[in-house]
Structure 1
Amino acid sequence: MQINGIHHVTAIAGPARRNLDFYSRVLGLRLVKKTVNFDDPTTWHLYFGDAEGNPGTILTFFPWDHVAPGRLGVGETEVTAFRIPAAALGYWTHRLVAHGVVHDVPQKRFGETVLAFRDPDGMRLALVAVPGSEDEPAWDNGEVPVEAAIRGFHGVTLLVDKAEPTAAILADVFGFAEIAREGGVVRMQAAGTAHGGIVDLRAAGGFLPARMGAGSVHHVAFRAADDAEQARMVKTLVEKFGLRPTEQRDRNYFRSVYFREPGGVLFEIATDAPGFAIDEAPESLGSALKLPARYEKRRGEIEAVLPALA
């Protein structure tokens, strides 16, 4: 059965060590995979998620030491939101204060309490207090108690010129449906999934276009159970929407197809299989540098130039 929703979100960061410290120590996410940018093997590609690296929990980064700040604009993800237990909201408010994290006061959005904050690069994030999520699996890294730990993605907010064309892609290709509107934001939800099941569309016609840089989300990936489901989605994009997705690309842990949706946001379709445990035991995820086969002969050279993480 196809499970819809977000597979992962990939963003651009500044120094890798700072990025690792913030997401693994301050936010308490598990470092699921250490690999490299397949198009630039001198750059880390770091994956953070839950204990098993499940789709719907994975936030990944391309960190560059000297990257210029990005500029939020049309055609970009505005906010990436995580789920937390409702009772953990006070814990997280105090934790953000204690770590000097820039944050807003909690607000109500679509009937949910949302704590917005930013990472060291200015990436816009949020924690959404979700009743019942305390029963979902979580990674306990010793710094964030399991009862307060992040439970994967709640969803993303996309900044687009008009909501309708993007909503049509989400509905007809990825199985989302509109469930509410509030303050000019259209909320789309994927049925049958708790993690990564929300996409909010904020129409901002006439606003400046996004400029990629530190703190910017590079792309949002949506789930396909397997190659056949991915091919069906591509067929719909081509035949119904006249889009031209890329060819399939093997990312070792999933297989990917990319396209620019009508609102300008880069979307990916990523298969659930084979998953992050294909080259590491579940208990050892993220412990060693993993390279695609074509780069193994350059391992020594690559390890010598990658920035230190510790």
Structure 2
Amino acid sequence: MTTRGIHHVSIIAGTAARNVAFYTGVLGLRLVKKTVNFDDSGAYHLYYGDETGRPGSVITFFPWENVAPGRLGIGETQETAFRVPQGAIGYWTHRFVDKGVAHERLEKRFGETVLPFRDPDGTRLALVAVPGIEAEPAYADGGIPAENALRGLHSVSLLLEEVGPTGAILTDVLGFRQSASEGFLTRFDSGATLGGIVDIRAVGDFLKPRQGGGSVHHVAFRAADDAEEAAMVKRLAENHGITTTDQLDRNYFRSVYFREPGHVLFEIATDIPGFTVDEKLADLGSSLKLPAQFEPFRQRIEAALPAIDAPGRPAGSAFGAAAAVEDDSAPRD
């Protein structure tokens, strides 16, 4: 196996304009792709990342204007964490105070300083201070000084009943190794610079989840290409009795989906072809890109989609009450 780590994390959100304002205007990420949900052309699929949207830097959202808030429970991703230079954690603490971002006190996990916070939909996020990454590439046009800018994904934390069955998938199929434990947390590390860590918080029997605004829909893991993805699918079936969906072409990667033993929806996504397949690097995220099957209906789709303000501008009102998005195994891109 040559490619390891998290490819991207996909999350359910509320108001699209507010989502863009937070992730570009507050966190300084680049909107690298503006497209629609393969299963719902009336809703956006928004991708954020570094300048090129490298695998391991990307977080994506399915914004539904009237989605009800989700409820965290067993069998879900509890938190998504980003990497920042060690000296930047004070900058971000002050920025969150200034911007009114809900956040908690600094804490230590596995010797690292962590700043937990939430986005406007209640998504559980964190910044992890990592020493020695100051010279790594950072997106320079997001309004955050380069020395403080986010440096891709650090980790995801899964809230599960037990470690063993999911840990076996991480180590045998997805290229991770169990590296440490601390309290209720067990860490798995792939060695990748971006998105190289999965923490499992094992809590036994717990409240069942309800997916909605702020809930992670799925976590995607990297495969270099189709051949590596096929080898991982084969290993899942032969060693663990788990079958995946057929491969689905998501335009910017090709994917299979499966429920891991703890019930979290996992995706395996290829690194190829990437986000510049239909836009120049300088133009990423600047126009609405549609899957080929939706292109004949562009005028109708564009008319139905809610307006999104330019990145960085204040936007959006709070989402209203509505029926929660029910958890199901049908993949959404």
Instruction: Give me the TM-score of the superposition, normalised by structure 1.
Output: 0.99
Distance in 2 (CA, whole Å) between partners of 1:132 and 1:249 is 38
User: Per the alignment, in what secondary structure is the counterpart of residue 267 of structure 2?
Assistant: strand
* 1:145 corresponds to: 145
Distance in 2 (CA, whole Å) between partners of 1:140 and 1:134 is 13
Distance in 1 (CA, whole Å) between partners of 2:195 and 2:115 is 17
Deviation at 1:182, TM superposition (A): 0.1
Cα displacement string for residues 132-156 of structure 1 (whole angstroms, at most 9, x for unaligned residues): 1111111122521111000000010
Cα displacement string for residues 282-303 of structure 1 (whole angstroms, at most 9, x for unaligned residues): 1110000000111110000000
Distance in 2 (CA, whole Å) between partners of 1:87 and 1:37 is 38
Deviation at 1:307, TM superposition (A): 0.6
* 1:57 corresponds to: 57
User: Per the alignment, in what secondary structure is the counterpart of residue 173 of structure 2?
Assistant: helix
Distance in 2 (CA, whole Å) between partners of 1:209 and 1:136 is 40
Deviation at 1:99, TM superposition (A): 0.5
* 2:46 corresponds to: 46
Cα displacement string for residues 162-216 of structure 1 (whole angstroms, at most 9, x for unaligned residues): 111000000000110011000111000002x110000000012110122110000
Q: Percent identity?
A: 64
Distance in 1 (CA, whole Å) between partners of 2:169 and 2:255 is 17
One-letter amino acid matched to 2:250: R
Distance in 1 (CA, whole Å) between partners of 2:73 and 2:7 is 23
* 1:30 corresponds to: 30
* 2:13 corresponds to: 13
Distance in 1 (CA, whole Å) between partners of 2:23 and 2:49 is 9
Within a 5 Å distance, the mapping from 1:292-303 to structure 2 comes to 292-303=291-302
One-letter amino acid matched to 1:184: F
Distance in 1 (CA, whole Å) between partners of 2:289 and 2:65 is 21
Tell me, yes or no, if structure 1 residue 183 matches structure 2 residue 144: no
* 2:276 corresponds to: 277
* 2:249 corresponds to: 250
Distance in 2 (CA, whole Å) between partners of 1:245 and 1:41 is 24
One-letter amino acid matched to 2:308: L
Tell me, yes or no, if structure 1 residue 200 matches structure 2 residue 199: yes
User: Per the alignment, in what secondary structure is the counterpart of residue 62 of structure 2?
Assistant: strand
User: Per the alignment, in what secondary structure is the counterpart of residue 134 of structure 1?
Assistant: coil
More deviation, 139-148/40-49: 139-148
More deviation, 132-141/30-39: 132-141
Distance in 1 (CA, whole Å) between partners of 2:275 and 2:143 is 24
Computed over aligned residues only, the root mean square deviation of the Cα atoms, in angstroms, reads 0.8
Distance in 2 (CA, whole Å) between partners of 1:53 and 1:220 is 16
Tell me, yes or no, if structure 1 residue 308 matches structure 2 residue 307: yes
Within a 5 Å distance, the mapping from 1:222-233 to structure 2 comes to 222-233=221-232
* 1:123 corresponds to: 123
Cα displacement string for residues 243-286 of structure 1 (whole angstroms, at most 9, x for unaligned residues): 11100000000000000000010000000000000000011100
Unaligned runs of 5+ in 2: 310-333
Distance in 2 (CA, whole Å) between partners of 1:34 and 1:205 is 39
* 1:77 corresponds to: 77
Distance in 2 (CA, whole Å) between partners of 1:213 and 1:114 is 26
One-letter amino acid matched to 2:95: R
Distance in 1 (CA, whole Å) between partners of 2:66 and 2:121 is 11
Tell me, yes or no, if structure 1 residue 291 matches structure 2 residue 273: no
* 2:134 corresponds to: 134
Deviation at 1:120, TM superposition (A): 0.3
Distance in 2 (CA, whole Å) between partners of 1:49 and 1:207 is 33
* 1:156 corresponds to: 156
User: Per the alignment, in what secondary structure is the counterpart of residue 236 of structure 1?
Assistant: helix
